[in-house]
Amino acid sequence: MQAKQVFQNMSPYTPGKQIEEVKKEYGLSKIVKLASNENPFGYSQKVKDAIPRMIDHLEIYPDGYATALRETLARKLNVGEKQLIFGCGSDEVVDIICRTYLEEGTNTVMATPTFPQYKHNALIQGAEIVEVPLIDGYHDLKTMLKEINAQTRVVWLCSPNNPTGSLISRNQLVEFLDTCSSDVLVVLDEAYYEYIENSQDPDSIGLLKTYPNLVILRTFSKAYGLANLRVGYGIASEEIATNLNITRGPFNTTSISQLSALTALEDRDFLEHTYKENLVNKKSFMQACDEMGLSYYDSEANFLFVKLPISGDELFEYLLKKGFIVRSGEALGHPNGVRITIGSKEQMDEIVSNMKEFLASI
């Protein structure tokens, strides 16, 4: 059977190395995974306590409308219930947007490097990809605006950006939205929103009433620590959300994932602990990088992209043998560097020690 022509130049997503795989390959008993920006502090104890009570009636389809989660989240965000769309992770919402708005003869504008699923899903729909290089890790918003034309349907803004962690400020965002055509969908991916320092919060949801072409993406996979349960969501005008929900599969999130996300929303203490620990450990790691003579991008996320004078693969392999999995920039469109998830204090102290050994060896 012949797939679409574009598939001949594409390949499946390649995830980072998994813990058991590394243990077996290197004969290690302890592995610290700092490659996928997961929460090193796990997830809410309230979720853990509640999950056994959720495992019932598995023979029945879940609530396709995610009613309880929808109602609670709408109140929390001060938006209408019909403004929400839920996905199997926010990356499914990315796919839904592409399937709804992109086709052959259209184009989509994005930064590079950024979250690769924007490009991946757009290509499948036959759209032309317009990529604008970052400047010092930040979106080049002025050039992105210049690249928009009559065929542009979607513009992707990842803030904080993955893999650099750089944030688009509220003023920059408003200026972009003021200038961008209202016929173009502007997708603001805030997967790392909960890690943004409070003083830097762009309050993007407050812009939805003024800019009906804005779509905001968020997730329970990062700060809430529910990556395995796959719950993400989008917030948009009711018109856009309705279109996206037409494309969405009818039962794309499970009852267990919906109830876990609902329970996680109630545990403010866990989220605050995650936020504070990440901020302290990130700043400490940045100071250590300064002392090692390594530069890095500004980061408002739970990771730091550290620049290197050599291929990121070299440090990646060295740390792998020491029991640390990080993400080489070679896999992220930025060869000379590594993206390192901010872990616990003990994990970060140990990885800094290993990085110092590596630098001394070269």
Q: If DSSP states are collapsed to H, E and C, what string results for 133-194?
A: ECECCECCHHHHHHHCCCCEEEEEEECCCCCCCCCCCHHHHHHHHHHCCCCCEEEEECCCHH
CA-CA distance, 247 to 251, in Å (whole number)?
12
Asked if 85 contacts 93 with a C-beta cutoff of 8 angstroms, the reply is: yes
CA distance 170 to 167: 9
Q: What is the pLDDT of residue 32?
A: 92
Among 304, 276, 301, 310, CA closest to 288: 304
Residue 30 backbone dihedrals phi, psi, to 5 degrees: -125, 130
Q: How far is CA 287 from CA 277, 307, 351, in A?
A: 15, 14, 14
Which tokens sit at 258? Answer: 């919906």
Looking at residue 16, its pLDDT comes to 63
pLDDT given at position 14: 67
pLDDT of residue 30: 84
Q: What was the pLDDT predicted at 9?
A: 74
pLDDT of residue 159: 98
Residue 54 structure tokens? 């959720």
Cα 361 to Cα 353: distance, rounded to the nearest angstrom: 13
Closest CA to 166 of 187, 135, 194: 135
Q: Is 326 left (phi over 0), alpha (psi -120 to 50) or beta?
A: beta
What pLDDT is recorded for position 24? 74
Do residues 228 and 254 make contact, with C-beta atoms less than 8 angstroms apart?
no
CA–CA distance, 293 with 58 (Å, rounded to integer): 54
| CA atoms within a 13 Å half-sphere pointing along the CA-CB vector of 261 | 30
What's the predicted TM-score (pTM) here? 0.94
pLDDT of residue 340: 98
What pLDDT does 17 receive?
64
How far is Cα 67 from Cα 283, in angstroms, rounded to an integer?
39
pLDDT in tens, the chain (362 residues): 777 777 777 677 766 667 777 677 767 778 899 999 999 999 999 999 999 988 888 899 999 999 999 999 999 999 999 999 999 999 999 999 999 999 999 999 999 999 999 999 999 999 999 999 999 999 999 999 999 999 999 999 999 999 999 999 999 999 999 999 999 999 999 999 999 999 999 999 999 999 999 999 999 999 999 999 999 999 999 999 999 999 999 999 999 999 999 999 999 999 999 999 999 999 999 999 999 999 999 999 999 999 999 999 999 999 999 999 999 999 898 999 999 999 999 999 999 999 999 999 88
